[in-house]
Amino acid sequence: MAIRKLARMGHPILKARAREVENLDDPEIPRLIEDMVDTLRDEGGVGLAAPQVYAGLRIVMFMVPDERLAEGETESVPLTTLINPVIEPLTDETVLGWEGCLSVPGLRGAVPRIARIRYHGLMPDGQRIEREAEGFHARVVQHECDHLDGILYPMRMTDMTTLHFVSEMRHNAHIEAEDEV
């Protein structure tokens, strides 16, 4: 196991399109995924994409812990690793929600995301997974997959006045804390 260094906003790897994983038998892939899990757990985040640890491959991981379930949502999502993920919007509707990012440390902003999506990809054992998602689940998947296309959440923001340092949150009592992803 190894905790990897995190790339932060400004590093070219976070602006580049990550490439598809073509060979799941490459021993580097499980090693990378294991290190990503270690790094995510060490940081206490809820999602991570391979470019954030300087690996330009289409691999993301995310989870939805119980405490992140919005009203009406009933199922938390255990840590899921997706290789070559693809997102399909199921609605035109967008919802605003707070996001942070391990590559943009200390900041939070309100980001519009598609309210309901279907996504698919491969699990590390090669099995195909397909799910529908809404709420925070849909949000974290969109956030992580954006990393694979060189997009950081501030680039999705429509109201930059909501961008703020977490350390100033005491001045913004209406803003809830969010994990970095």
Alpha-carbon distance of 31 to 46, in angstroms, equals 20
Q: Is 144 a catalytic residue?
A: yes
7 binds Ni ion (CB under 5 A): no
**Contact call for residues 119 and 86 (beta carbons, < 8 A):** yes
Among 14, 53, 82, 101, binds Ni ion (CB under 5 A): 101
Stretch that binds Ni ion, among 5-13, 33-41, 98-106, 132-140 (CB under 5 A): 98-106
59 binds Ni ion (CB under 5 A): no
Tell me which amino acid residue 100 is: G
Catalytic member of 99, 134, 144, 180: 144
**Alpha-carbon dihedral angle through residues 142, 146, 147, 151, given to the nearest 10 degrees:** -140
Interface with Ni ion (CB under 5 A), residue total: 2
DSSP state of 136: H
Picking from 81, 80, 78, 82, the residue whose alpha carbon sits closest to that of residue 121 is 82
Please provide residue 33's backbone torsions phi and psi, each rounded to the nearest 5 degrees.
-65, -40
Q: How far is the CB of 34 from Ni ion (least distance, A)?
A: 20
Angle at 48 between CA 100 and CA 132, to 5 degrees: 90
Q: How far is the CB of 72 from Ni ion (least distance, A)?
A: 25
83 binds Ni ion (CB under 5 A): no
Stretch that binds Ni ion, among 23-31, 34-42, 95-103, 106-114 (CB under 5 A): 95-103
18 binds Ni ion (CB under 5 A): no
CB-wise, 24 or 150, nearer to Ni ion? Answer: 150
Alpha-carbon distance of 180 to 144, in angstroms, equals 11
Stretch that binds Ni ion, among 4-12, 54-62, 71-79, 94-102 (CB under 5 A): 94-102
Task: Return residues touching Ni ion (CB under 5 A).
Answer: 101, 181
| Catalytic positions | 144
